[in-house]
Each structure stands twice: as C-alpha cells, then as structure tokens.
C-alpha cells in the first residue's frame, strides 16, 4: 500500500460507479471545479452517517465555492443508493469494491481491519491542496475541507 498523498501531489485519476451505477471519473471535474474527495468506512454506521449528514448540511457552502463532493467507500452502489436516499444526500457516493482507489490514495485501515477515513481537497488543476485524516473526528472532515476551499 502506498503512503497517503500529500498537499502538492497530483491527485490520481480513477473511475468508479456512483449510487445509480453511472461511471464517474475524477478527470471529468478537473479544469472545471475543486473536488472534495472523502473516504469513509461504511454506509449507515454512526460516524459515517454523522459525517455524510454534515456534508449534506454544508452542501450549499461547498456549492458556493464551486466544489463537488464525492464520498467513497467499499459499499455497493445499491447500499450507497439506500444510504443517500435515507439521509437525502445531495452528492455522489462512489463504490470502490476491494478498495482499489482507497489504496491508490494511501488511505490505510485502522487496526488493520476498519477502512480509513480521509478527506482530500483537490484543486481545479488536479493537485491535492489539503489532506485530513481522523477516524473519530467525523464532522471535522467537513470543517477542514471548507477551510481549505476558503484558503
């Protein structure tokens, strides 16, 4: 597994399916808008729900800054669809079965078993501007991403 990417690094491109089964490529957004790419352990668990709902509640603040939010976990598109519907999440959730993109970004597992929680803010040019990692400070991921977009 590679080390986590750092600010200034180019963001690796990827293609994953969203909650509706549509293919989403990071490169589709480059040159157009900043991307907040957040990795989380599992749909509909306490911490992940708090984090997703905080992103939902601050969605307009991200839109005002021109940013797109992409959530990524190993869960299936069907699981993501249920999770997004249950909490009215207005952003895309991407399915990363096997954690290929998670590994590409160097998002390590906690205790070797729990998928890590990391947020990357990627600028229009495709460079990582901010990396925040905390398995337990769920809502702080949102605050750190907003702060990075203001900076």
Residue 121, token pair as written in the block = 């803010």
Quickly list H helices, 14-150: 46-57, 59-64, 77-86, 100-104, 140-150
Is 87 within 8 Å of 43 (Cβ atoms)? no
Based on its alpha-carbon atoms, the radius of gyration of the chain, rounded to whole angstroms, reads: 14
* Bridge partner residues of 18 (DSSP): 94
Considering only CA atoms, which of 143, 150, 25, 44 is closest in space to residue 92? Answer: 25
- Which residues carry out catalysis? 48
User: What is the rounded CA–CA span in Å between residue 117 and residue 132?
Assistant: 9
Strands (E), 75-137: 92-95, 118-122, 128-133
């Amino acid at each position: 597994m590679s080390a986590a990417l750092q600010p200034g690094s180019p963001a690796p491109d990827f293609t994953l399916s969203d909650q509706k089964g549509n293919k989403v490529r990071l490169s589709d957004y480059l040159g157009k808008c900043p991307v907040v790419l957040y990795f989380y352990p599992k749909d509909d668990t306490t911490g992940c729900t708090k984090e997703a709902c905080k992103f939902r509640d601050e969605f307009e603040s991200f839109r005002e800054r021109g940013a797109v939010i992409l959530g990524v976990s190993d869960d299936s598109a069907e699981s993501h669809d249920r999770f997004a519907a249950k909490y009215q999440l207005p952003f895309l959730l991407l399915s990363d079965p096997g954690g290929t993109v998670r590994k590409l970004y160097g998002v390590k597992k906690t205790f070797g078993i729990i998928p890590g929680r990391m947020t990357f803010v990627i600028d229009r040019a495709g460079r990582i501007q901010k990396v925040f990692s905390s398995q337990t400070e769920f809502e702080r991921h949102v605050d750190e991403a907003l702060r990075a977009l203001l900076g």
